[in-house]
Structure 1
Amino acid sequence: MPFRISPLAVFATFLASTSMLAALPAAAQNAAPAAPAAADAPKPPCGGDLATFLAGVKDEAVAAGVPAEIAERALAGARIDEKVLARDRAQGVFRQTFQEFSNRTVSKARLELGAKKIKDYAEVFARAEREYGVPAPVITAFWAMETDFGAVQGNFNTLNALVTLSHDCRRPEMFRPQLVAALEMVQHGDLDPATTTGAWAGEIGQVQMLPKDIIAHGVDGDGDGHINLKQSAPDAIMTAANFIQSLGFRRGEPWIQEVVVPENLPWEKTGLQPGLKASDWFGLGVEPRDGDTSHGDLDASLVLPQGRKGVAFLTYPNFNIYLSWNQSFIYTTSAAYFATRLAGAPAYDPGHPEQGLTEEGMKALQTRLDTLGHDVGKIDGILGSGTRAALQQEQLRFGLPADGWATQAVLDALNK
């Protein structure tokens, strides 16, 4: 990330190669959520004898319109990949701050290469914006963060990865439809069962897409009659634009804007929550660093990745597409910031954020919030949206600035 995207599986490989220490969430978990299944919907067949399982997949593909001989030939050499299962079981999480993560991912070299890509494919980007309303910087930032412009796409056999995750009974409802879609791609000549590789969770190409999204949103950008997201930059660019538009991107509107905040604000209103317009924030003394207040009529949230003393951003409705692409707040905010840099914005002012809690301190904070009746989800040491919201309520109760940033002072107050 069309892609359902989040090929953090592939991106994790890139991070490891650049000595980034944080483990990342699994691609499939961070992917844009699929439409919920009916509560009484039967779980797809899974497990058991592999040959029997594959015969069932073949029948399903044939019912979907794939010729029987193509489905049979594609599945003939399919096997379970134990390395895929190992990756699926060893899901990591972000434990870096926004400043740490964004500084590593939005590097000078990547910005320069991104600018070059925008210039090299100027005609394709112009066509993408004309047809789908998505500007080049938005597409390019995702392209960079997902695979480093195609350099790190993953080396797992795609068909085997999807067979493995469909046969495994953990989440067959997520992966079996992708396996059938992969067989449709074989039918179209856009996937080779023996040679097509990608991320461990089945995403393919320079913008890391799952097969169903390729079929639904794939665009032949170079006019060769095929959708080849692995090798064709025009295909990847146009497909990304089409997919981003499908997520609700609004032509001509901003997505994120760095702002300077006054010392006193209703901090409890900050975070990814609705209710205010950008003009409301401007009226409270929030000032855009670029001086542009022309979008005051748009809904806007004020996000403080590292509290009120760190960098601050207004996020606009177009920011929602980033959350659809990947549900990690740190990743999405970094990707949105990256796009603003490619569009000409300066590096953000990091400010002077207060020291955050260690992993163990975060777990202690989450445990305390849980005992107070807040739903923080899993006790994982991560300052996610649930923990931030609960924390703001407690900060407000104690008369502290309710900015959702976890510090030792907040933990001490909760433990009194």
Structure 2
Amino acid sequence: MTRHPFPLKTFTVAALTGLALMTAPAVAQQCGGDFQTFLAGVKQEAVAKGLSASAADQTLSGAQIDRKVLSRDRAQGVFKMTFLDFSKRVISSYRMKNGAANMVKYASVFDRVESEYGVPAPVITAFWALETDFGAVQGDFNTVNALATLAHDCRRPELFRPQLIAAIEMVQHGDLDPQNTTGAWAGEIGMVQMLPEDIIKFGKDADGDGHVRLKASAPDAILTAGAFIGHLGWQPGEPWLQEVTVPQSLNWAETGLGKTKSGSDWAALGVQPRWGQISGNLPASLLLPQGRKGPAFLAYPNYNIYLEWNQSFIYTTSAAYFATRLAGAPRYDAGNPDPGLNDAQMKQLQTKLSALGYDVGKIDGILGAGTRNAVQQVQQQLGMPADAWPTPALLNRL
């Protein structure tokens, strides 16, 4: 399922080099080097896994390096948006209206999804909207070229080489045209933007034509998305995200992902729902995407499934919130958050935190999990409200 255009897990080149040595001579070239030699190794691996040489040739014979793919992979600036900016941008009245209409239009498919996998229609519909505007914008990168480019590139070959092998399998099944199939820059295909391995594992033929066609068939896309989300561990009948109001007397250091209390315990501390009822028996984390003065949400266990879909906190929280809106929740109370940091200030903050010994990852100006955790710890040490929201005041204190 789509994990782009947002960051994926990274792996060390050293580890991959070790893997290449262990698997030689079966696969002589894991990544890099002469492109045609690399493709020959991919074909060799595909045939060794039982795929036909003709399908491999059909898939790989015209493959080319796409420099635009590498450029997109290196520059993912959307992560630098705040939750309020990003959510307002992607949750439009158009998407709300069309989301509601599609839930009615494909009600029978959504009913099947919920019956078989327990995943509610708003959850899938929100992803469908955010990924491709209900199929209208699916990407114009040649899928095979994108996957071959990223598999050849030595940054994350352990992710993309298997996807290229899976694309060969799709060609063999008649579900991918190597010359004409297009999608996202990172190789995802179709209305819900899935990678080839996931399509093979979880693809469902909902319209009965004998193929899984996620580009053209909304029923196939809906049922496949439901199967994938169900596989990730979605708990039927449980909430995923709930907007709440919070008292300003709260201990902010207890907020954030990975820090949970029961819904009842949060309620006892004065946390109140803006819509629906707090699920008292479920564990929940209190999320403050822009600090204690901005919107607040209780994230229940099903929220973790969103992080399996995409690792960006801003994207996942926006997608989960969008699904609550489609389910009937009101627009969030944006509050009045303290001003955040611009790109240069964020990089300066990350540099200072890194110098203090905190693991913030790459100095990239992105407020990721590592930076949020470090900010919260430093705020606590400095006697500031530890809500994990970096401000100019914090930067000045450092």
TM-score, with structure 2 as normaliser = 0.93
Q: Matches of 1:363 and 1:287 in 2, distance apart?
A: 36
Indicate which of 34, 53, 71 corresponds to 2:56. Answer: 71
Listed one character per residue, the Cα deviations across residues 289-342 of structure 1 (whole Å, up to 9, x for unaligned) are 12513x111110001011111110000000001111111111110000000000
Q: Which residue of 2 aligns with 1:196?
A: 181
Q: Which residue of 1 aligns with 2:357?
A: 373
1:409 to 1:52, Cα distance in 2 relative to 1, 3 A: closer
Tell me if the contact between 1:7 and 1:146 (Cα under 8 Å) persists in the aligned partners.
Answer: no
Tell me if 1:223 matches 2:220: no
Tell me if the contact between 1:53 and 1:167 (Cα under 8 Å) persists in the aligned partners.
Answer: yes
Q: Matches of 1:218 and 1:190 in 2, distance apart?
A: 11
**Residues 89-128 of structure 1 mapped to structure 2, 5 A cutoff:** 89-128=74-113
Q: Any idea what SS the aligned residue of 1:373 has? A: coil
Q: Which residue of 2 aligns with 1:320?
A: 304
Q: Which residue of 1 aligns with 2:142?
A: 157
Q: Matches of 2:291 and 2:323 in 1, distance apart?
A: 22
Code of the residue aligned with 2:360 in structure 1: it is: V
Q: Percent identity?
A: 65
Shift of 1:155: 0.8
Shift of 1:239: 0.5
Code of the residue aligned with 1:287 in structure 2: it is: Q
Indicate which of 3, 7, 11 corresponds to 2:4. Answer: 7
Tell me if 1:277 matches 2:274: no
Q: Which residue of 2 aligns with 1:363?
A: 347
Q: Which residue of 2 aligns with 1:235?
A: 220
1:123 to 1:207, Cα distance in 2 relative to 1, 3 A: same
1:398 to 1:183, Cα distance in 2 relative to 1, 3 A: same
Q: Which runs of 5+ in 2 are unaligned?
A: 22-28
Q: Which residue of 2 aligns with 1:80?
A: 65
Listed one character per residue, the Cα deviations across residues 105-128 of structure 1 (whole Å, up to 9, x for unaligned) are 111111000000101000000001
Q: Matches of 1:172 and 1:406 in 2, distance apart?
A: 34
Tell me if 1:30 matches 2:24: no
Indicate which of 41, 44, 47 corresponds to 2:19. Answer: 41
Code of the residue aligned with 2:348 in structure 1: it is: A
Q: Which residue of 1 aligns with 2:26?
A: none
Listed one character per residue, the Cα deviations across residues 51-88 of structure 1 (whole Å, up to 9, x for unaligned) are 33322222211122212222223322222223223323
Q: Any idea what SS the aligned residue of 1:300 has? A: strand
Q: Which residue of 1 aligns with 2:231?
A: 246
Tell me if 1:399 matches 2:377: no
Shift of 1:93: 4.5
Code of the residue aligned with 2:265 in structure 1: it is: D
Q: Which residue of 2 aligns with 1:349?
A: 333
Shift of 1:363: 2.2
Tell me if 1:255 matches 2:233: no
Tell me if the contact between 1:31 and 1:325 (Cα under 8 Å) persists in the aligned partners.
Answer: no
Tell me if the contact between 2:126 and 2:319 (Cα under 8 Å) persists in the aligned partners.
Answer: yes
Shift of 1:40: 4.6
Tell me if 1:211 matches 2:196: yes
Tell me if the contact between 2:10 and 2:156 (Cα under 8 Å) persists in the aligned partners.
Answer: no
1:169 to 1:398, Cα distance in 2 relative to 1, 3 A: closer
Q: Which residue of 2 aligns with 1:339?
A: 323
Indicate which of 186, 193, 209 corresponds to 2:171. Answer: 186
Q: Which runs of 5+ in 1 are unaligned?
A: 9-24
Provide runs of 4+ in structure 1 moved above 4 Å.
37-40
Shift of 1:381: 2.1
Tell me if 1:410 matches 2:388: no
Q: Any idea what SS the aligned residue of 1:257 has? A: strand
Q: Matches of 1:216 and 1:163 in 2, distance apart?
A: 20
Shift of 1:181: 0.5
Deviates more, 1:376-385 or 1:188-197: 376-385
Q: Matches of 1:322 and 1:215 in 2, distance apart?
A: 21
Code of the residue aligned with 2:226 in structure 1: it is: A
Q: Which residue of 2 aligns with 1:135?
A: 120
Q: Matches of 1:360 and 1:50 in 2, distance apart?
A: 37
Deviates more, 1:396-405 or 1:213-222: 396-405
